[in-house]
Structure 1
Amino acid sequence: MIARRLGLILYLLIAACTSSGETADNAAGERLEAASIATGLVADPATIPLDGIWARDSDRMCIMPASGGEDDAPRHIGVLLDYGEGQGCTARGTLTRSGRDLTIALGACRFSARLDGDSIQFPAALPATCNGLCTGRATLSALAVERVSASVAEARTLRGPNGTALCAD
């Protein structure tokens, strides 16, 4: 274990000394991340399970397998933001994963999100087609949620304001 940590520290020092610009910094960061995953210091984004409930404050998201349930198949996704007084968003659709990149389709609203450890981050700028999923001044832009539960049974229970299951077939 000590040898791994010393190796990682040596790698960090070498990476810091050899970078000569943004491209070198990016490559060094990618090498550092790969080394961290290989040594087990950082979880591999490609192996982090997505199914379950994700949340932050009053924002909720469910993800669960579509019927068939293969790991690389599209998954059901549902999003519920409720800020009260006619301010909120409700959406359901599909999610496809490629490593840490998540392709999300909520009807005509389509975009890429990012999986970072135990959190999912939507981009700050979403297509205009996503505006129709929200009421008032609410938006799905820059939504960030963290894993609350890895239970598919709990993911099935997330419901929209009208009682519709957001992650069901």
Structure 2
Amino acid sequence: MRLGGLALLLGLAACGGPASAPPSNASLDLETAAIQRGLVRDPKDMSIVGSYARGPDRLCIVPDGAGRRIGIVIEYGAGNGCRAIGAARRTGDGLDLVLGGDGACRFTARYDGDHLALPGALPKACALLCTGRAALAGAQFVRLGESVAEAQAMRDADGRPLCGE
């Protein structure tokens, strides 16, 4: 009898009582809430200019007239590496990159304000920017600083400037 009474009470509770409120349009995802509370920087409000690195790999972005110039160097040693110079433009959650003298290496990199990640699959033209077994595909970089001077000072293994004059 006790179980029957409990089942009846649960059934009645499910039928009556206040209805739960529908989900609010103002409900936020975790990242948006963190940005609003100042826990993380909003990547849409940040300049892309600065220096980035991961291990021996380097990337710099500097102002270039109305646009942005980008330089990337990946060094594996023994004739394996990449050196790419081009242009970068902010688009939504990423950066549109155009690399190489002919601009045939074009793709969109993921960018969240502190990390920049190149896609795992790139156009074939991007392979011409590398020697040996090196590749740009899948390279990732972490922001070191937002200083234009620091980004302009970055050099490749031969001492050539990546983003400097």
TM bucket normalised to smaller: 0.7 to 0.9
Work out the CA distance in 2 between the residues paired with 1:37 and 1:158: 31
Contact 1:74 1:97 in 2 (8 A): no
User: What is the alpha-carbon distance in structure 2 between the residues aligned to residue 140 and residue 61 of structure 1?
Assistant: 11
**Structure 1 gap ranges (5+):** 1-17, 19-27, 68-72
User: TM-score, normalized by length of structure 2?
Assistant: 0.74
Identify the residue that residue 97 of structure 2 maps to in structure 1: 104
* Cα 1:161–1:58 shift into 2, 3 Å: closer
SS of alignment partner, residue 46 of structure 1: helix
Tell me the residue number matched to 1:149.
145
Name the structure with the higher helix share. Answer: 1
Question: Identical aligned pairs, as a percentage?
Answer: 47
Q: CA deviation at 1:82?
A: 1.0
Q: Where does residue 135 of structure 1 map in the other structure?
A: 131
Preserved CA contact (<8 Å) 2:94 2:112: no
Aligned counterpart in structure 1 of residue 44 of structure 2, from 46, 55, 61: 46
Distance in 1 (alpha carbons) for counterparts of 2:55 and 2:158: 21
Task: Tell me what 2:16 maps to.
Answer: none
- 1:23-49 C-alpha deviation (Å, 9 max, x unpaired): xxxxx8x74333332332332111122
Q: Which residue of 96, 116, 119 maps to 1:120?
A: 116
Which whole-Å deviations, capped at 9, do the CAs of 1:1-39 have from their partners, x for residues lacking one?
Answer: xxxxxxxxxxxxxxxxx8xxxxxxxxx8x7433333233
Which stretch has the larger CA shift, 154-163 or 136-145? 154-163
Mapped to 1, the partners of 2:37 and 2:156 lie a distance apart of 42
Backbone CA RMSD of aligned residues = 2.0
Deviation at 1:101, TM superposition (A): 1.2
Match in the other structure for 1:60: 58
